[in-house]
Amino acid sequence: MLLSCLDLSYELAISFDSRPGLKFLVQRVAGLERAANLYRQAGAAWTIKVVTLFDLCLHEVGRSGATLDKVKRILEDQHAGIAEERKSFSEVNNKVLLQCA
């Protein structure tokens, strides 16, 4: 729930900051000297999410008794799987391009 709220907060802050007209409208209505922006809000939401995910990972590693070797092996296996998927995808793309030529 917390991570979803942080995602939503980040997305809305970025969305607001990408709309100059809305920023200047808020500036005039609120009587601000500069255009309103939510860059700090976006940065704070992103930072809190990353710290929370890191803490959850540390908690899970401690709870499961994972060792550095186990984590390393898992990451290497996942990396190998991703590399194989990319290779397969690339081969399919090449076949499609050759057929279209």
Q: Show pLDDT as tens, one digit a residue, over the chain (101 residues).
A: 889 999 999 999 999 999 999 999 999 999 999 888 888 999 999 999 999 999 998 888 888 888 888 878 888 888 887 777 777 767 666 666 666 75
Q: How far apart are CA 12 and CA 81, in angstroms?
A: 34
Q: How far apart are CA 75 and CA 56, in angstroms?
A: 17
Question: pTM for the full model?
Answer: 0.60
How many C-beta atoms lie closer than 10 Å to residue 6's C-beta?
19
Query: pLDDT value at position 13?
Result: 93
Query: pLDDT value at position 7?
Result: 94
Query: pLDDT value at position 29?
Result: 93
Query: pLDDT value at position 94?
Result: 65
Query: pLDDT value at position 82?
Result: 79
